[in-house]
Amino acid sequence: MNEPIYVTQPVLPELAEFIPYLEQIWKNKILTNCGPLHQQLEKELCEYLGVDYISLFNNGTIALVTALQALGLEQGEVITTPYTFVATAHSIVWNKLTPVFVDIDPETSNIDPKKVEKAITAKTVAILPVHCYGIPCEVEQLQALANKHSLKLIYDAAHAFGCEYQGQSLLNYGDLSVISFHATKVFNTFEGGAIICHTAEMKQRIDRLKNFGIVDETTVDGISLNGKLSEVHSALGLLQLKTIDKTLEARQKIDENYRNFLQNIDGIKCISRLHLEKDNYSYFPIVISERYPLSRDELFEKLKANNVFARKYFYPLMTDLNVYQQFKSEAPNAKQLSEQVLCLPMYPTLIIEQIQMIVDVIQECAK
């Protein structure tokens, strides 16, 4: 039978193109500690993304933990979404802050600002929304709330690499934005991540925090982690940047094809991405409603039987995980979406025949 099709497949350059970078690392013997390739990647990413300051990290999770620390958040409540990957909520709890889970707008899958406002208390110190699937949050409304109540605003922008919104990088909104370069993301460095900030002072603070809080040989000014990205990872990032536009173009075509093929299947809805000027097409989520003959879980199994491994992003909700029981709250929109959503395979080398085959499976069950 056909090859298994997974929800994603990492983009990799030709191995031969990677070797010269490795030779350079072997020759100069600088492996980490913000060496030349690390510095070059920060510079090229600022240019490509259209942001002022970026600090690279070994992954997005440590970047999230460090971002909250960099803003001096030591106690209180942080409002966030239950409809996300566990790292978002984990970063709050790792900082001994209290996550307050607020429901989403089912149209965008992002946190609902009206509900955020209702959840603000005297203890609230920050809002941590997620640009889910790379779809922008209601950035103006959230910034207005943050200003009105003197709250910090940190975006988990793990899905938002390269997205532009209202004439600028989506990563420029909020006090800080955090991205991930994990293998499953649109742009990968095997593992990796970054914090985007607005001032040189903040970048310096973050750069120290990602290096144990070390200021100089005898001074340490924070109890923080080791979040540095190595030279090998940075080298891969430099290579990936050379082909990122082609990657995004290929993703756009796949997104278009899915939407065309799926538009007349009753009970299947593709989540709209219309808000974006420049999109990265990360993920292809569909919503399986009651009008479709199969449940989401049944369709998931049906696809699997055809060697297609879709993923239930994001299920279960944070508020339904055992480890988050003490922070439980009601989020009916998020609950419903998490029970109806399925992310279909989406990666640049997915060919049209494979897309057609996946759609055929979905179509057959609709009859």
Ligand X SMILES: *Cc1c(COP(=O)(O)O)cnc(C)c1O
Scanning 5-13, 38-46, 55-63, 327-335 for contacts with ligand X by CB under 6 A, the matching segment is 55-63
Q: State in angstroms the smallest separation of the CB of 19 from ligand X.
A: 26
Q: How far is the CB of 312 from ligand X (least distance, A)?
A: 14
Strand partners, 6: 309
Whether the CB-CB separation of 236 and 245 falls below 8 Å is answered with no
H-run or E-run covering 249: helix 231-262
Rule CB under 6 A: is residue 155 a binding residue for ligand X? Answer: no
Least separation in angstroms between CB 91 and ligand X: 8
3-state secondary structure of 173: coil
Residue 84 CB, shortest distance to ligand X, in Å, is: 5
Q: Which helix (H) or strand (E) holds 98?
A: strand 98-101
Secondary structure string (H, E, C) spanning 22-43: HHHHHHHCCCCCCCHHHHHHHH
* 180 near ligand X (CB under 6 A): yes
CB within 8 Å of 319: residues ≥ 6 apart: 82, 101, 327, 328, 329, 331, 334
- Over the range 179-194, which residues count as b (16 or more CB within 10 Å of their CB) and which as e? bbbbebbbbbbbbbbb
Could you say which of 35, 60, 82, 227 contacts ligand X (CB under 6 A)? 60
Residues 193/61, Cβ–Cβ less than 8 Å = yes
Q: Quote the least distance from Cβ 290 to ligand X, whole Å.
A: 28
Q: Is 338 in the site for ligand X (CB under 6 A)?
A: no
Report if residue 161 touches ligand X, rule: CB under 6 A.
Answer: no
- One character per residue 189-228, x = contact with ligand X (rule: CB under 6 A): ----x-----------------------------------
The window from 92-100, 153-161, 164-172, 346-354 that contacts ligand X (CB under 6 A) reads 153-161
234 binds ligand X (CB under 6 A): no
CA 148 to CA 132: how far, in whole Å? Answer: 25
Binding-site string for ligand X from residue 114 to residue 143, where x marks contact by CB under 6 A and - marks none: ----------------x-------------
Residue 262 or 273 having the CB closest to ligand X: 273
Q: Which is nearer to ligand X, 100 or 265 (CB)?
A: 100
59: contact with ligand X by CB under 6 A: yes
- Nearest distance from C-beta of residue 210 to ligand X, angstroms: 14
Structure tokens at 88: 């978002």
| Smallest separation (angstroms) from ligand X to the CB of 122 | 28
Residue 225 parent element (H or E): none
Site track 61-100 with ligand X (rule: CB under 6 A), x = hit: x----------------------xx-xx------------
Residues that bind ligand X (CB under 6 A): 59-61, 84-85, 87-88, 130, 156, 158-159, 180, 182, 193
